[in-house]
Structure 1
Amino acid sequence: MNADHYAAVRRLYETVADLPPSQRSAHLQSLSNDAALIAEVLDLFQAGESATTGWINRPLRGALQDALQSEVKPGDVIGAWRIESELGQGGMGQVFRVARCDGHFEQLAAMKLLQGAPSRERLAHLARERQVLAKLTHPNIARLYDGGETDHGQPYLVMELVDGVAIDRYCQDRQLSRNAILNLFIEASQAVAFAHRQLIVHCDLKPSNLLINRDGRPILLDFGIARLHQDDAAEGDPDPALHAFTPRYASPEQRGGDAITTSSDIFSLGLLLAELLDQHRLSDAELAAVVAKASAEVPSDRYASVDALCDDLRRYQSHQPLLAVRARRTYRTRKFVQRHWPWLLVAALFVVIVSGFTLRVLRESERARAAEHQALADRDHAREAEAASRQTNDFLISIFNASNPNAESGDLKASTLISAAEQRLDTEMKGQPAIQAEILSALGLVQANMGQRDAGRRNLERAIAIERGLDRPLVLATMLMRLSVLVTNTDGIAAGEVFTREALTLRETHGAPDSVELAESLNLMASTLSQSGRPQEAVPMYERALAILKPNYPDSTVLADTYAAYGMHERYFGKLERALLLQEQGLAIAASAYGERHPNYLANQLWYAYTLSALRRSAEAETAFRRNLSLRKALHGDGNMLVVEPMIGLATMLNEAQRPDEALAIAVEAQAITARSASPQSVESIAILNNIAAAHYAKGRFNEAAKACREALDLMAERGDRGPQYVQMQTSLIAYYTQAGDLRHAGLVLDEAEPLAQTLFPADHYLNVTLALNRAAWLLRSGRPSESRALVTKIEAALPKDDPKLSMYETSLRNLHQGLDEVESPK
């Protein structure tokens, strides 16, 4: 059957389709003298009415399909679109990659052509899909661009072309953490929830209909068998599209041919969630309960809506009790402890200290076996450790008993316990320096984690001063590590490096070569070197740490922290995709090792958000920053220093998203908190000034921007921080000075920044390219267009044409060319 013959059959078929069967033959004879053609049309009706499903008999249907498929080939033009290639075939039609060719603008899309004989039911199906898509405008749903019929009457739809991979493969390829999978699933589910609010049921939710695009955004496809909730087909609906669901993900009511509601999609989402989690063995009892409720056999036992399902997943992420779990008292108590662990942390201090002593007992015992001549000294150390552990335990328990006479009140705060411990420590532990040092170090660490930096530093310094008089080098190393982190945050990298290096030396000299403590010191030393602009020294230390941790401690918190820090290093030096991969590996471990409300997990998740922002995945980054901020405020209060870090990240992202008013408001709020709780040289103070400068610049206040940025750079120089962040801030200051018309100061900063960046980064690093573009702009503004033109030509020649970062420089290059053309054109 050729295409012309098919078109003639179709015209006659549609003309008499609405007539009673008894009148069709006579009417067809009045329209055509071709008896064979009339017989063929009548055969179609007979085939459709003879089968209980109403499907067209397969031989005739196959002939029609052959005719249709033979008429469409690459290069054909349908409407405003040129066929480029076939993307695939499904039960309802073929899908082609097409390009717009009407000359108005360039656009790629996907075209769906209806396959098979276009019965009234199939035409109604395509019309329904077009109606459905026309109602759905959502960032996570593929958009409808166009629709119509071919010259031979074959219907088609033109939709958004999604360049992505199925959600299950995306999660598997990237080895996403449990939390990352849940976030992705929740975002994808929002598209389904939106469709439900438009009274549309998708009916075929499965991994291949949820693609993740290049930006990491899930896109919901294929509403080909979707149902308008108020227009459910009557029983015995002959449309095969309504039976074209995927059995593996279909609800019991779909498989049984019963009424379909939004609950059917919730069932499919439950199965999809189970599959995403199970492929990485990331499920647990609570998530299993969520899946069981979503995919219950009886619709009324499922979640009432997609939003309710997503809300339960968010409760899981924040350690709230779940709707899917029966609310036993022990369950709610456990969730309370997970949510409020900082206020209960001091209650576990004695466990931490006892565990520390126990580990030292084991290490000393191993040394005794390895070196027999040290047995006596090791035995004495062990006995001292056992005695100290009992005394430490008794002391901290007595603090709790004295501070909490009413055990039922539930109003015991960490600050109260720490104050009581400090007051009694000198008197009750007098003459026992080992115990004093241990308790002071533990209290200092807790205070630092609670944002009480000055108090934490005092206790850590007291602990170290005592410990230096004892013969316990590895204990001293641990205390030095804690102090180094705190001092780096308050006084700068150079100040902290002294303690970091001493701790590393002690662990290399006195510890085991494959100990987790040595890996911890290597990680911190590498991070210090990275932030001070010494990447060549940092990378070998990160690799040494991973070489120890991956085979020996695959689930340790130190491995999680090392992945996170190494990822941050790679981000600083422009390797964004590798940074994201490292950070995702770290977060997967941290989620189970720490829990998602632990300070270390929140720190790692914050670095991950920064990388998302650097990759221009703004929506995901904003969600991550706001989530981090919300958790920290819930844990520590609105005015605590620990809420400042996500505020800085959020302000940075908002500036990059051209939302300077919001960024400035958050930065000013963060600055007020920092002024009360931190020194002007703190990393937070400097980062906030940088945010304020960027917001002023976006609002056209160039002098204010330059003033704030200059202040931040001067503070960094005082701290001894002249690494990647210093250069990045210099590039901003050059732009601020140039826009303000202060070419002299812009040139001075350029002269300082260029050699420093060339020392720190490879030639093609984006900061070196950005500085070269700044130099070209400065030359142009300084009345030296020929030098500027030569530099622009050199920059463009050096940039690989397939470099994904090329888009970062397009605006600058375009502006430079425009300025040069204006200057060089004849007046």
Structure 2
Amino acid sequence: MHDDDQLLWQAADAVLDRLLDLPAVERDAALAAMALAPELHAVVARLLAAHGRHRGPLDGAPLGAGLAGRRIGDWTLEEVIGRGGMAVVYRASRGEGAQRQVAALKLLTLGAMVSGGVRRFRREQAILARLRHPHIAQLLEAGVLEDGTPWLAMSLVDGEPIDLWCRAHGLDLRERVRLLFDVCSAVAHAHRNLIIHRDIKPSNVLVDGDGHVRLLDFGIAHLLEAADGTPTGTQAMVLTPQFAAPEQFLRAPASTAMDVYGLGALLYHLVVGRPPRPSGLPDEPVTAPSRVLIAATAAGTDGTGFRRGLRGDLDAIVLKALDPDPERRYASPGDLASDLSAWLDRRPVQARAAGPGYRLRCFARRHRVAVAANVALLLSLGGGVAATLWQAAEARREAARATAAKDFLVDLLQSPDPASRGGRIVDTAQVLRLGATRVREQFAAQPALRTELLQVIGRAQWHLGDLESAEAALDAALQSAVDREQRGISHLILGEIHQQQGRFDDSLAQQQAAIAELTGLRSAQARRSLVYAHLYRGQVTAHLGDATAALPMFDLAEALEAALPQRDPRRRMHLLVHRGQSLLALHRPGEALEVLEDALALVPEPGIADLPLLTTLAQANARLDRPALAETYYRRVVDTMRAAYPPDNPALATPLNNLGSHIADRGRGREAEPLLREALELRRRAGGEGEGGGRLAPALTNYAVLLAALGRENEAVPMLEEASAAADAAFGPVDFRSLMVRSYLAQVHGQRGDAPATDAVAGELQARILELGEMSGWPPALAGTLRRLALAQLLLGRTDDALAELDRLDLLARATGRPLSAPDLAQSLALRLYALALQERRDGAGTARLARELAQLGEEHRFARATAVLALGSQRQPGDPDAAPERMLAEVAQSFPEGELPAHYRLMVSRLASVRR
């Protein structure tokens, strides 16, 4: 068969598949209504006629026919709201009154069940279960009937296809483009979950009465990590020819480029009124949208009036998305959305060559009023000059300051360095330190300019990791500040520097001072800075252990940001990231991930300034049993930082520590060891004395805990002693972070079997905890400290002492009125069950049931799960082969499928075996 014939038959096969989704009585009319090429129409007509002559014994009415009133799970079926050859969709409801919930419940037909539809249907279930996005119809429930018919219930979207909605509501060109942003966001969310939709078209995008967009029908979507491993090319081709990418006809592997094409085709349809390839043939050339409307205008059929707006940039954007070569399309839905945003703002777009003439025209369009005003001023220079004298004088003052700043920076970059052979300073940190010194000397008589330059230099030093120099520059800026705005901004930056130093109390004081100075000021810069002051105040409050109190601070920051005259997507993204971090601290990872994905939609291609977003996404995915995706994000942060910073920059320590800790938690300790060691070395080189201990202590602790997990307890102990001293110096001896380090030291002493050392640390900790409670109350983070003390006692075989610590933990929760978080509760219950097992106390079926439930917990609770497996093993009779220590170790190891079992579990198994002999 020639290539042209193959393409023709593939296109016909795809059209036939769509027709067979319709009831038989509607298929001929639907075919007649399609704008197909004559040869394609003829082939489809022959195939459709042949299908009608050869009906199989199971082809017939859908299984769901006539089921109104029947209950499926908790759902009661109502009227049919959709029907095709592959499925029937009912309106369904469950609950009553205020609890009533309505859904679209989808059942397969008999024909679909015998033609591979079940596999597609189950894939749709799996895909929808992964997606949680405001612009994607959500899966509510799924199941299988007694006769084997699969079903799924989705949120019911009471709306109409996006093209009809645009037409009915008379949307103009810019409004239609804005509507596509929500579709791009939904598709980008699917891509981040490794899902390709492959069938983006108007009927799969509904808009409800409030104008909210929902993406539907993931029935032919492709899972990039599908478990069955079936190659895309071996599957039956299912697509919509007029909207499908050309490579889909060739059964190319699924790619995000297919969905970029689909988005371009949808946009084409919205602005032109027809698909880009009306015939449905893959090699049909795509005509620029404006040229289609030129022809329609000439024929008197263009009712949109969009031709002028399409010509130029929007034409280029649409054609780039629809390029036949996937490599020349936009790299992602986010890139397409960014170019559409540029078009809306009359900025240059990626899709066009960016010559100076083109950029000048964009500027003129973007500032049409200002350009016109300047032209008018030039034409009437003789009049109205007096009215502008004050503004001109102010502008000259601003220009003089800007010129002075520019000249200073140029001179600084050309400064000779006597120690360097070339006579130029090549070390950026050295340039900035020299600059700060010169600013103090050169601009002593210009305090406003002096302050501005010191703020710029100090912020640059902070980003380079030279925190000591940055603090000195900002202290000097604060001293020379001439007004509330300059003082407020100096406090703001100082607070950020203190936070980076781990001085959270000092950081909080600086942010509160910034808020006091900036509140009530009306300049744009002051209002923006006030948003960040409230944002960082919330962030520091969360770091200090009170994420609940931080959330209303973020609410205030978001409200202030929403009132700014110019909205900045990146600023909005930062607000969402910090809210997501607090939700994670409150053990609400599902909510956190939704917030973070909204943030990612605002910055589809994060840069180095956006790495906190990727880090927090990694943390959320790790907590939601998505370790591989979490590791991908962590590695991306590390790779980006390595590319941007010299290898000895201390800024690399945190991302290395995050990646290493994640890998270690997965049981891959030997792989994590060099990462955590490098992070520690960077912290040591940055200085661990005094304030630097706030950063050194966590690096020491994480590395020491890893060494203990690898069975290297003797190396871990001196590191934890050093970490404890650093934490005490940086935070104070009764800070929860200092207590946490000491509790790890107690646990490792218990693992070594050193009872006197364990008792000494435990006694000291109890005294500190009492002092903390008297001073400021007990923070939620203290739960981990008490839990580790209980584990230390269990490792020594002291069950009564361990149970006393766990009782103290329960008392703490009741005394503070704050229940334990889910991970803390799970781990404390598991330790209690293990302690009872060591005492050979079996408290009946309830204890066994609780152990079984804990042993089945998800990834976030793997330590509790592993401990519960031991407690469950103790229920077995001594002669049972499954009660053997080797068997119990193997079961515990299943909680760490990627690597080694932490060393203390071997000791726990040994203790359990010894009491059962």
- Same fold per superposition (TM over 0.5): yes
- 2:658 aligned partner: 649
- 2:252 aligned partner: 262
The question of whether the paired residues in 2 share the 8 Å contact of 1:693 and 1:704 is answered with yes
Structure 1 residues 325, 791: closer, same or farther in 2, change over 3 A?
same
Could you say what secondary structure the match of 2:50 adopts? coil
The question of whether the paired residues in 1 share the 8 Å contact of 2:485 and 2:521 is answered with yes
The question of whether the paired residues in 2 share the 8 Å contact of 1:507 and 1:518 is answered with yes
Cα deviation, residue 719, structure 1:
1.8
Are 2:326 and 1:303 aligned?
yes
CA distance in 1, matches of 2:63, 2:579: 56
- Equivalent residue for 2:483, pick from 472, 476, 483: 472
Cα deviation, residue 694, structure 1:
2.8
Structure 1 residues 226, 790: closer, same or farther in 2, change over 3 A?
closer
Cα deviation, residue 665, structure 1:
0.9
- Long gaps (5+) in structure 2: 1-44, 68-72, 90-105, 124-128, 132-144, 160-177, 199-214, 270-311, 340-348, 360-389, 418-423, 844-914
CA deviations 1:726-773 (Å, max 9, x no partner) are 56556645543443334415643763687669999999x686388468
What is the correspondence of 1:246-261 to structure 2 with a 5 Å cutoff? 246=240, 249-251=243-245, 260-261=250-251
Aligned amino acid, residue 514 of structure 2: A
Could you say what secondary structure the match of 2:561 adopts? helix
Cα deviation, residue 579, structure 1:
3.4
Identity of aligned residues (%): 18
What is the correspondence of 1:567-582 to structure 2 with a 5 Å cutoff? 567-582=580-595
Are 2:722 and 1:708 aligned?
no
Cα deviation, residue 667, structure 1:
0.9
Are 2:532 and 1:523 aligned?
no
Are 2:731 and 1:720 aligned?
yes
CA distance in 1, matches of 2:228, 2:110: 15
Could you say what secondary structure the match of 2:633 adopts? helix
CA distance in 2, matches of 1:525, 1:448: 18
Could you say what secondary structure the match of 1:208 adopts? coil
Structure 1 residues 84, 249: closer, same or farther in 2, change over 3 A?
farther
CA deviations 1:54-88 (Å, max 9, x no partner) are 32459x76875469889x9xxxxxxxxxx999999
The question of whether the paired residues in 2 share the 8 Å contact of 1:779 and 1:788 is answered with no
Are 2:605 and 1:566 aligned?
no
Cα deviation, residue 385, structure 1:
5.5
Structure 1 residues 191, 66: closer, same or farther in 2, change over 3 A?
closer
- Equivalent residue for 1:609, pick from 611, 618, 625: 618
CA deviations 1:255-293 (Å, max 9, x no partner) are xxxx633178777433456699999xxxxx999989856
The question of whether the paired residues in 2 share the 8 Å contact of 1:522 and 1:544 is answered with yes
Aligned amino acid, residue 485 of structure 2: L
CA distance in 1, matches of 2:583, 2:406: 43
- Long gaps (5+) in structure 1: 1-48, 73-82, 96-110, 134-138, 142-149, 193-204, 230-240, 280-284, 335-376, 405-409
CA distance in 2, matches of 1:640, 1:810: 43
- 1:505 aligned partner: 516
The question of whether the paired residues in 2 share the 8 Å contact of 1:629 and 1:647 is answered with yes
- Equivalent residue for 1:493, pick from 487, 504, 510: 504
- Equivalent residue for 1:463, pick from 477, 480, 486: 477
Are 2:758 and 1:739 aligned?
no
User: Could you say what the CA RMSD is over the residues aligned between the two structures, in angstroms?
Assistant: 6.4
Structure 1 residues 459, 181: closer, same or farther in 2, change over 3 A?
farther
Cα deviation, residue 622, structure 1:
1.2
Aligned amino acid, residue 441 of structure 1: Q
Cα deviation, residue 666, structure 1:
0.3
Structure 1 residues 67, 486: closer, same or farther in 2, change over 3 A?
closer
CA distance in 2, matches of 1:725, 1:790: 20
- 1:546 aligned partner: 558
The question of whether the paired residues in 2 share the 8 Å contact of 1:606 and 1:628 is answered with yes
Aligned amino acid, residue 262 of structure 1: A
Cα deviation, residue 685, structure 1:
1.8
Are 2:51 and 1:55 aligned?
yes
The question of whether the paired residues in 2 share the 8 Å contact of 1:690 and 1:712 is answered with yes
Are 2:234 and 1:228 aligned?
yes
- 2:135 aligned partner: none
- 2:606 aligned partner: 596
The question of whether the paired residues in 1 share the 8 Å contact of 2:740 and 2:782 is answered with yes
Cα deviation, residue 645, structure 1:
1.9
What is the correspondence of 1:718-797 to structure 2 with a 5 Å cutoff? 718-720=729-731, 729=741, 732-741=744-753, 742=755, 743-745=758-760, 747-748=762-763, 751=766, 768=783, 771=786, 775=790, 778=793, 781-784=797-800, 791=807
Structure 1 residues 499, 224: closer, same or farther in 2, change over 3 A?
closer
Could you say what secondary structure the match of 2:688 adopts? coil
The question of whether the paired residues in 2 share the 8 Å contact of 1:286 and 1:325 is answered with no
Structure 1 residues 64, 395: closer, same or farther in 2, change over 3 A?
closer
The question of whether the paired residues in 2 share the 8 Å contact of 1:693 and 1:706 is answered with yes
What is the correspondence of 1:278-317 to structure 2 with a 5 Å cutoff? 295-296=322-323, 301-303=324-326
The question of whether the paired residues in 2 share the 8 Å contact of 1:448 and 1:456 is answered with yes
Could you say what secondary structure the match of 1:658 adopts? coil
CA distance in 2, matches of 1:686, 1:177: 46
Could you say what secondary structure the match of 2:607 adopts? coil
- Equivalent residue for 1:625, pick from 631, 634, 653: 634
Aligned amino acid, residue 768 of structure 1: A
CA distance in 1, matches of 2:227, 2:316: 28
CA distance in 2, matches of 1:505, 1:127: 64
Count of residues paired in the alignment:
626
Cα deviation, residue 492, structure 1:
1.9
CA distance in 2, matches of 1:126, 1:446: 60
- Equivalent residue for 2:404, pick from 360, 383, 391: 391
Aligned amino acid, residue 481 of structure 1: L
What is the correspondence of 1:655-694 to structure 2 with a 5 Å cutoff? 655-680=664-689, 681-694=692-705
CA distance in 1, matches of 2:763, 2:684: 31
Aligned amino acid, residue 55 of structure 1: H
- Equivalent residue for 1:450, pick from 459, 464, 471: 464
Structure 1 residues 225, 492: closer, same or farther in 2, change over 3 A?
closer
CA distance in 2, matches of 1:487, 1:542: 20
Cα deviation, residue 660, structure 1:
1.2
CA distance in 2, matches of 1:422, 1:771: 48
- 1:815 aligned partner: 834
Aligned amino acid, residue 576 of structure 2: Y
Cα deviation, residue 805, structure 1:
8.4
The question of whether the paired residues in 2 share the 8 Å contact of 1:162 and 1:219 is answered with no
The question of whether the paired residues in 2 share the 8 Å contact of 1:730 and 1:753 is answered with no
